[in-house]
Amino acid sequence: MKLKGRIIYKGIAQGEALVTSMGISFYGGVDPETGVIVERGHELEGQTIAGKVLVFPTGKGSTVGSYTLYRLKHGGKAPAAIVNAECETITAVGCIIAEIPCVDQIDIEHFKSGSHIIVDGEKGSVEIKTNQIEKQISV
């Protein structure tokens, strides 16, 4: 399945999806040294975002979250790419300064953790690979 969205930061990345229906605060919600979600009660608490295609509705929290994404990238613990329903300023700036491919305006209900995702920030598309069978829909 291939979905079309809005380009936040260009670049192409792929990997295992880590999906949540909850917003993410990178400042205070993610350990910048390990890439592990530490926000108490978050459905991804205890899981690492490092190297994953991180799929979540929108960011939240302090503007320091942008710098946290930058710090995660330079420490090798950042997500490979980010997919949002609506990318707010904190996540957008973080992706830009950390050079993390990001696409938003995507219906994230199609995604499941563990699936293989290809994010094409050059074309603004996100592709979900399912058992080597590719389906395409227009959104």
Answer yes or no: is 72 within a domain. Answer: yes
Residue 12 pairs in a beta bridge with 120
* Dmax (CA) of the chain: 40
Active site residue 62: yes
Answer yes or no: is 121 within a domain. Answer: yes
Answer yes or no: is 20 within a domain. Answer: yes
Answer yes or no: is 134 within a domain. Answer: no
The 10 Å Cβ neighbour count of residue 33 is 10
Q: What confidence score (pLDDT) does residue 130 get?
A: 72
From the list 21, 62, 115, 125, the catalytic residue is 62
User: Which residue range is the domain that position 105 belongs to?
Assistant: 2-129
Q: What is the DSSP string of 28-88?
A: HHB-TTT-BB--TT-TTTT-B-TTSEEEES-B-S-THHHHHHHHHHHTT-S-SEEEESS--
CA distance 54 to 83: 6
Q: Based on the structure, what is the number of domains in the chain?
A: 1
- pLDDT by 10s per residue, the chain, length 139: 999 999 999 999 999 999 999 999 999 999 999 999 999 999 999 999 999 999 999 999 999 999 999 999 999 999 999 999 999 999 999 999 999 999 999 999 989 999 999 999 999 999 998 754 444 444 4
For residue 9, the SS3 value is strand
Answer yes or no: is 139 within a domain. Answer: no
Answer yes or no: is 94 within a domain. Answer: yes
The CATH number of residue 83's host domain is 3.50.30.10
Answer yes or no: is 135 within a domain. Answer: no
Answer yes or no: is 25 within a domain. Answer: yes
